[in-house]
Amino acid sequence: MSIVSELKRRNVVRVALLYGVVAWVILQVAEVLFGVLALPAWTSKFVFGLLVLGFPLALIFSWVYELTPEGLKREHEVDRNASITRETGRKINYLIGALAAIAIVMMIGQRFAPRTTPIAAATQASARPTQPTVQAAAKSIAVLPFVDMSAAKDQEYFADGLSEELLNLLAKVPELRVAARTSAFKFKGERVDLQDVAKQLNVAHVLEGSVRRSGNKVRITAQLIKASDGYHVWSQTYDRTFDDIFAVQDDIAGEVVKALKVSLLGTTSATRSRPVDPEAYNLVLQGRFFLQRRGKEDIAKAVDYFQRATERDPGYAPAWSGLSQAYARQADSGFVPTAGGFERAREAAEKALALDPRLADAHVAMGEVQLSFDWDWTAADASLRRALDLEPGNSEALRRLSGVAATAGRWNEAIDLANKAIERDPLRPNSWNNLGLTLLAVNRDTEAETAFRKAMDIDPDGAARHQSLAQALLLQGKTEAALQEVQLEKNDIWRLYGLALTNARGRRSESDAALKALEAQYAGEAAYQIASAHAYRGDADLAFAWLDRAYDQRDPGATEIKGDRFMRGIIGDPRYKAFLRKLKLPD
């Protein structure tokens, strides 16, 4: 009798099929259960490993033993005429069919049914921003950018700065949830319906106002509105001098917290950094105004304004903190040499912290240097957590802390922090993009696609928007859709990288051409992306050569290696673990 016939007679083939279906069902249940219990990522790998080890054992068992009416017996002890293997095989067939039906139902459920995890709720809400799934907390507020009513219309920076200062002051109140600046300022210059704004930001109240400035005289009008009915909870007009601007801010914040019946920390005003020279504060406001624009010339102007502020008042910590963030932005964007830019950012952050250790923005600035340049994950984690201790609602600290967790492969923590950042700042596209990348790392591709589409809805012209979405589509096997998406990418680096990936299977010549162009034109800016493309294409030696180059260049992309599924092909190579150790990351 042939070995194949004997395998069939002893039901070894059926047992193999049954084991595969059972294992798949167990893995799907484990994924959901472990997500709900917030267990570490290694637990899923552990279960998978056990199932792989159990497979040959199950086959050996089915070969050696046979089920009889008297129980299990070794196969050679059973009389062939009394064997019931055929009947046992039919029962196994029925069991395989039943489990296969369950598996099909589970796959359909995963494809079409909404998930019940916190991140799924967030992405569902994001797809319908005007219809939040949860009711806004009563003690929540958005500070919209105040309107410049000055005759010359030259005080936009001052109106923006006043709004941001009020937002930051209110964010220090533990009982109050405050929408972050990026989301609140999304409505700047638009004629908006306050109820719609409140729904998009998931807040119950809106603070708006206007500024009229002439020389040293300032008129500020502020009004607190209950979004559900448009009722004015409180309003006030202040006629003051510019020198008295901090007192006005304190008055407005105090009236808001009183109206919302929350407790303002008694030390909040006393511990705020105040400039000795009012002009230094004015320069800081102008620096922040240009820093938000992100263009090369705008950031250069921001650096200039912050530098002038530090010269006017060397003891004003926010001026140094702003200068640190501007230097870091220049370096991270490739506008200045990386090492020099980040070193200047570090010096400015250290100065800010020495002047005011309780300034949350200073800790965020230092955390950015430690995360993006030093690659000191422990120090970055400590700096950003300290910022959150001082200002629990700081969305930038939450977003960057999520990045630290993702870099180390702590996926549940990274997703949780990303959700919290989005809750505070729901209209910040980069928060949605970062969330999408984290979801891709844990194979939640359809949810990642939703997050990327949300980022694109908010900022359709942003760099890497189409390429990120193409990644999610490609990893779902939707190659043609991914290719169409990446061809819409406007940023040259991300388009070439995306083309190298999407054409890697089946259109090798097109992939070769894109990767060659990426190497020729952007070796200094995209070393990690080049390495990732080589890894996906199966060129391990080239992948590791470019990874070493990315390390030497301090390419920020290298920090995403643990979550990069296009790198999965080289994980088994000893050089991969060696590279992780060089980054001081867990294997």
Please tell me what DSSP assigns to residue 135. P
Block residue for tokens 């405050």: 178
Strands 140-143 and 205-214: parallel
Where do we find the tokens 């050569």? 545
pLDDT at 365: 96
* Predicted local distance difference test score (pLDDT) of residue 126: 37
The pTM is what? 0.68
| Residue 73 CA: distances (Å) to CA of 65, 78, 82, 484 | 6, 7, 12, 60
pLDDT of residue 118: 35
User: Two tokens at 463?
Assistant: 């760099």
Alpha-carbon distance of 382 to 125, in angstroms, equals: 31
207 neighbors 166 (Cβ within 8 angstroms): yes
Cα 536 to Cα 503: distance, rounded to the nearest angstrom: 11
Q: Are residues 377 and 584 in contact, defined by beta-carbon separation less than 8 angstroms?
A: yes
Nearest alpha carbon to residue 179 among 189, 164, 162: 164
Rg (Cα) of the chain, in Å, rounded? Answer: 29
Cα torsion at 435, 441, 445, 449 (round to 10°)?
Answer: 30
Query: Are 321 and 283 contacting, i.e. CB atoms less than 8 angstroms apart?
Result: no
Strand pairing of 205-214 and 217-226?
A: antiparallel
Look up residue 296 and give its two tokens: 């090369």
Do residues 314 and 308 touch, judged by C-beta distance below 8 A?
no
Mind listing the domains of the chain with CATH numbers? 3-113 (no CATH), 140-272 (3.40.50.10610), 275-391 (1.25.40.10)
Say what the pLDDT of residue 109 is: 59
Tokens of 251: 């008055």
Instruction: Give residue 116's Cα distance to chain centre.
Output: 19
DSSP state of 370: I
Cβ within 8 Å of residue 457, ≥6 positions away: none
Contact, 301 vs 289, CB < 8 A?
A: no
| Residue the block writes with tokens 């958005």 | 142
* Signed CA dihedral, 543, 545, 547, 553: sign only: negative
Is residue 471 within 8 Å of residue 439, measured between CB atoms? no
Structural contact between residues 161 and 289, judged by C-beta atoms closer than 8 angstroms:
yes
Specify the pLDDT at position 509. 96
Residue 188, classified by CB atoms within 10 Å of its CB into exposed (0-12), middle (13-18) or buried (19+), is middle
Which residue type sits at 268? T
Written as six digits, the tokens of 401 are: 């802390």
Q: Which two tokens stand for residue 54?
A: 């159990």
Long-range CB pairs of 357-361, under 8 A, 24+ apart, other chains included = 358/271, 358/390, 359/273, 359/317, 359/318, 359/321, 359/390, 360/387, 360/388, 360/390, 360/391, 360/394, 360/397, 361/318, 361/321, 361/322, 361/325, 361/387
What whole-number distance in Å separates Cα of residue 503 and Cα of residue 445?
Answer: 19
Contact 487, 495 (CB under 8 A): yes
Task: Output the tens digit of pLDDT for each of the chain's 587 residues.
Answer: 567 676 677 677 777 888 887 887 787 777 666 544 445 555 666 777 888 888 888 778 777 777 666 666 676 666 566 566 677 777 777 777 787 777 777 666 554 443 333 333 333 333 333 333 445 677 889 999 999 988 888 889 888 988 888 888 888 787 788 888 888 888 888 877 888 888 888 898 999 999 998 888 889 999 999 888 888 888 889 888 887 887 888 888 788 878 777 644 444 444 456 767 889 988 999 999 899 876 789 999 999 999 999 999 999 999 999 999 999 999 887 788 888 999 999 999 999 999 999 999 999 999 999 999 999 999 999 999 999 998 887 889 999 999 999 999 999 999 999 999 998 889 889 899 999 999 999 999 999 999 999 999 998 888 899 999 999 999 999 999 999 999 999 999 999 999 999 999 989 999 999 999 999 999 988 999 999 999 999 999 999 999 999 999 988 889 999 999 999 999 999 999 999 999 999 88
Q: Which amino acid is at 133?
A: T
Q: How far apart are alpha carbons 226 and 208 in whole angstroms?
A: 11
Query: What integer pLDDT is reported at residue 81 of this predicted model?
Result: 60
Please say whether the beta carbons of 435 and 406 come within 8 A. no
**Cβ contacts of 416 within 8 Å, gap of 6 or more:** 38, 118
Spatial separation of the C-alpha atoms in residues 85 and 194, rounded to whole Å: 73
Q: List strand residue ranges (DSSP E) for 414-529, in order.
A: none
At position 514, the amino acid (one-letter code) is: A
CA angle 172, 352, 268 (to 5 degrees): 25
